[in-house]
């Protein structure tokens, strides 16, 4: 009987050992998420939220390591290329450089296209937004959700901008985006594409006069240290995305693909709220840090930029009509 009891105990112990999870076992999928901004930026909050949701919903089977501040590349274009090359698994960032990979992403870069954020998300969360994200599949990427970077605004070190004439002659850093660059040329500005990682030093050294970005980027990047004038031009709304390399997404089990999609939507809504709060809080903080903030009449800017629509509308091909649909949705 003692032998039998000992055998039972030994058998139970072996079964528990076999069935128990192995402490410190490696995750089934280990992914790298890259973005181009500091950890104080709303993108990072959205990226971390996505990581947390995916890891929790998969029980740790998927691990996502977040690499902020261009650790996986030298700018957003580099990170997007990394999705195609296999050096980046997940990208969180702006759509600005995406027009270089799929022309129809230029749709959201037309100046003064959106009236306000309500207008923006009626479009991005609707049929148009879903259609544009789906175009990434053919480029080796899977678009999961729309986040935001807010409306872009102008800063410079030379002068206060109260009207269109005040921007003429300024040398302004832009993203590598031909619609953005055409808009600034139309206004008499010298647009200078440059990786974001190089911008602060270029401003500090006077290589460029200014830049344009949403309020959260301007504050968290401490541009008030090298810029004097902030002009609330709100000239382009800057959507952001959570994008996964298609090869990575396709390698996931169906249940995990669903988790990724749901987690991305939840993280995107969270990030939008963070971005809104930052924008409201940071304008006041920029003033306290010495920046002069002006709000010009935007109608002359809008009128001056109408030619950009005619110049680039044809590049949208069969989707050119979406421009009119977006404008109509804001009325």
Report which DSSP code applies to 88: -
In angstroms, the CA 71 to CA 138 distance is: 27
The answer to whether 62 touches 27, Cβ cutoff 8 Å, is yes
Domains, the chain, ordered by start:
26-329 (3.40.190.170)
Q: How far from 112 is each of 6, 298, 330, CA to CA, in Å?
A: 79, 9, 11
CA–CA distance, 218 with 61 (Å, rounded to integer):
37
115-153: burial string, b at 16+ Cβ within 10 Å, e else: eebebbbebbeeebbeebbebbeebebbbbbbbbbbbbb
Query: Coil, strand or helix: which one is 136?
Result: helix
Residue 226 corresponds to which tokens in the numbers above?
A: 């090298």
DSSP for residue 216: H
**pLDDT at residue 1, rounded to an integer:** 47
Tens of pLDDT along the chain (331 residues) come to 444 445 444 444 444 444 444 445 689 999 999 999 889 999 999 999 999 999 999 999 999 999 999 999 988 999 999 999 999 999 999 998 898 899 999 999 999 999 999 999 999 999 999 999 999 999 999 999 999 999 999 999 999 999 999 999 999 999 888 999 999 999 999 999 998 889 999 999 999 999 999 999 899 889 999 999 999 999 999 999 999 999 999 999 999 999 999 999 999 999 999 999 999 999 999 999 999 999 999 999 999 999 999 999 999 999 999 999 999 999 8
pLDDT at 24: 56
Residue with tokens 């105990």: 9
Q: Note the pTM of the prediction, 2 decimals.
A: 0.84
Contact 179, 257 (CB under 8 A): no
């Amino acid at each position: 009987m003692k032998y039998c009891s000992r055998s039972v105990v030994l058998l139970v112990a072996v079964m528990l050992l076999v069935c128990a999870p192995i402490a410190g076992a490696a995750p089934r999928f280990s992914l790298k998420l890259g973005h181009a901004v500091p950890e104080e930026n709303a993108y990072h909050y959205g990226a971390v939220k996505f990581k947390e949701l995916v890891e929790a919903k998969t029980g740790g089977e998927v691990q996502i390591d977040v690499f902020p501040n261009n650790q996986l590349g030298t700018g957003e274009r580099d990170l997007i290329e990394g999705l195609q090359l296999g050096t980046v698994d997940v990208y969180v960032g702006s759509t600005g450089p995406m027009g270089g990979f799929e022309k129809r992403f230029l749709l959201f870069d037309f100046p003064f296209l959106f009236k306000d954020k309500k207008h923006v998300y009626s479009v991005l969360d609707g049929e148009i937004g879903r259609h544009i994200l789906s175009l990434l599949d053919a480029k080796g990427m899977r678009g999961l959700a729309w986040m935001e970077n807010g409306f872009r605004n102008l800063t410079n070190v030379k002068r206060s901008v109260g009207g269109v004439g005040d921007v003429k002659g300024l040398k302004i850093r832009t993203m590598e985006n031909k619609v953005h660059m055409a808009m600034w040329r139309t206004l008499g500005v010298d647009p200078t594409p440059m990786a974001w990682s190089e911008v602060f030093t270029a401003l500090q050294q006077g290589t460029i006069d200014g830049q344009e970005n949403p309020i959260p980027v301007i504050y968290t990047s401490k541009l008030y240290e090298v810029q004097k004038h902030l002009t609330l031009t709100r000239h382009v709304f800057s959507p952001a995305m959570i994008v996964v390399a298609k090869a990575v997404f396709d390698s996931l089990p169906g249940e995990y693909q669903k988790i990724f999609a749901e987690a991305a939507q939840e993280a995107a809504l969270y990030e939008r709220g963070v971005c809104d709060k930052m924008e409201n809080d940071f304008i006041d903080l920029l003033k306290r840090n010495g920046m002069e903030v002006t709000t010009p009449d935007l109608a002359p800017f809008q009128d001056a930029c109408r030619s950009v629509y005619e110049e680039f509308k044809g590049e949208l091909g069969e989707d050119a009509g979406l421009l009119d649909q977006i404008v109509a949705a804001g009325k």
